[in-house]
Structure 1
């Protein structure tokens, strides 16, 4: 009996030990799980997201801002205004590009066709070569001061430019008085001395004073018409490098309409002519007769009267800049050379052995709209029908008494004095 009881006690002790072990394991697992949940979920399962202290502070202080916050708000407003101003400039730039795109809608297509991949020639009558060279990439680093002035004065990257020193002060006054009367806002006087600069500023005329240049300073201050005319080719280069098209003007010109309304803009150079008829202005086939040659006595020649280097529109292209460089170089090497003769030789002479010609496109302006004084005094004033036409400009280039004739042109076309031109001879006395 005793052995059986001991066996039963042993079995009971074993069962009790197993139960105690299981309880201990369960307690351990419970403590472990509790620790895990306490670590990852410190606020329990059902907790609401607390309101951030910053929000509470903003809600409390919204009715009463601190000076620092007020200053911060003012700074934000200023920043917004500056951004708005920048956006306006961008919009203006986009509008300008849109206008230029519309203006040269066909030109862009031509450039793509010609400069792009090779292509076959189309049917007869449909082939058209490229006439308008693409503009250069503007480089403001060339002359930052001039770039800033042009940004304020030029319109659609175009500007009328005249060079002037004290020798032509009275004519300059007639020049800009009529430009203002017509309503041309985009013009600039390149002052070659201090007096002209002061004179322009006192008359509210846009002016640019060149930096001193030892090589040309004496010409700028005291040179006559021809000397100053040669200087302009050096000065114009910077305008083109900055990406602006220039309507170069001599000072002996009376403006009667806005010339930008009559420019084609399809060539590198667009110039008025010294011609006085359709043949002389636009070109003709001139037959040279040499009787000693027998049946071959007649030789055909192409003739055209020169472009006037005192009034031309030039686009910012590589051929245009090369033209200015070549003219300036020739004039620097030959003090007796006339800038207008050199200007035309470089534009018209073709490539030949020993010489590479300039590949610049050109257009002749309408001689009755862009009128020289020979056309006016020799033909127009004597023709009842032609007298009714209103030119864009009149250039007193053929006559020495320039100021008197300029004033007479104003009297005739502006003030309607019909006999204002009658007292002058056809030519010079």
Structure 2
């Protein structure tokens, strides 16, 4: 983020004293907000446990009327992301999809031979909406969404991304009422980058923000992405396969 000229409206939320001290030493915009991992998340792995805490923190900003761009640590920010937002939806974020059907949705067929003439039916599906990179606007619906997620994760050991998708996409039924947030898919994951986009002409490659979520060698790929797009090293991505 600090590499982007003219970008000043960003803030790091430091959730422990060590990070707060580092930010203070380096003159980094930060807000010290310590968190306590609830018992429900203590055995889920450190990264999932910490990730589960972000909804409570983000909700505090939304309650102040501030829109929030959340970015995990495995994100390469190459251009000012605020210049690429539509701002017409409650949440704009990245999907784990890697082509139009998986990213934006598709109609698929279901075949149940026991139903005779009505054996064929249709359904809809798409890949998950990633909980590690999204822009969320401050309103009653998004505050309700994050309140539900934070409450669930404080009581149960579910993966936060699964809960995020459940509350966003599940339809109202019985006593359950959907928060009914509006979504817009944005940004890019590294499966799309390394399998498709890097082979396109460079002037046609969309590149404001990239999430290194599909590959285990995250630091190396993020450095290579920065070298390729910001430092002009045309060969920086060549050593990496499309897969892992």
- Normalising by structure 2, report the TM-score: 0.91
Instruction: Please tell me whether residue 413 in structure 1 is matched to residue 235 in structure 2.
Output: no
Select which of 111, 131, 139 maps to 1:317: 139
Distance in 1, matches of 2:196 and 2:203, equals 9
Aligned to 2:31: 208
Q: Specify the SS of the correspondent of 2:3.
A: helix
Please provide the CA RMSD for this pair.
2.1
Cα deviation code 1:140-192 (max 9, x no counterpart): xxxxxxxxxxxxxxxxxxxxxxxxxxxxxxxxxxxx4xx43343211111112
Instruction: Please tell me whether residue 271 in structure 1 is matched to residue 88 in structure 2.
Output: no
Distance in 2, matches of 1:399 and 1:252, equals 10
Q: Is the 8 A contact 1:281 1:304 kept in 2?
A: yes
Q: Structure 1 241/387 Cα, relative in aligned 2: closer, same or farther at 3 Å?
A: same
Q: Specify the SS of the correspondent of 1:406.
A: helix
Instruction: Please tell me whether residue 425 in structure 1 is matched to residue 241 in structure 2.
Output: yes
Select which of 244, 254, 269 maps to 2:66: 244
Q: Displacement of 1:215 after TM fit?
A: 5.2
Aligned to 2:82: 260
Q: 5+ residue gaps in structure 2? A: none
Relative contact order higher in (CA < 8 Å, ≥ 6 apart)? 2
Q: For residues 107-256 of structure 1, what are the structure 2 equivalents within 5 Å?
A: 176=1, 179-210=2-33, 212-214=34-36, 224-256=46-78
Q: Specify the SS of the correspondent of 1:184.
A: coil
Q: Displacement of 1:214 after TM fit?
A: 4.6
Q: Structure 1 402/182 Cα, relative in aligned 2: closer, same or farther at 3 Å?
A: farther
Q: Is the 8 A contact 1:320 1:360 kept in 2?
A: yes
Q: Specify the SS of the correspondent of 2:4.
A: helix
Number of residue equivalences: 241
Aligned to 1:376: 193
Bigger proportion of residues as helix: 1
Aligned to 1:343: 164
Q: Displacement of 1:425 after TM fit?
A: 2.6
Bigger proportion of residues as strand: 2
Distance in 2, matches of 1:386 and 1:290, equals 47
Distance in 2, matches of 1:200 and 1:194, equals 10
Q: Specify the SS of the correspondent of 2:131.
A: strand
Q: Structure 1 205/216 Cα, relative in aligned 2: closer, same or farther at 3 Å?
A: farther
Instruction: Please tell me whether residue 397 in structure 1 is matched to residue 213 in structure 2.
Output: yes
Q: Structure 1 287/385 Cα, relative in aligned 2: closer, same or farther at 3 Å?
A: farther
Q: Specify the SS of the correspondent of 1:415.
A: coil
Distance in 1, matches of 2:6 and 2:25, equals 19
Instruction: Please tell me whether residue 300 in structure 1 is matched to residue 122 in structure 2.
Output: yes
Larger radius of gyration: 1
Q: Displacement of 1:348 after TM fit?
A: 0.8
Q: Is the 8 A contact 1:319 1:359 kept in 2?
A: yes
Q: Specify the SS of the correspondent of 2:109.
A: strand
Q: Is the 8 A contact 1:380 1:387 kept in 2?
A: no
Q: Structure 1 409/200 Cα, relative in aligned 2: closer, same or farther at 3 Å?
A: same
Q: Is the 8 A contact 1:182 1:256 kept in 2?
A: no
Q: Displacement of 1:201 after TM fit?
A: 2.0
Q: 5+ residue gaps in structure 1? A: 1-175
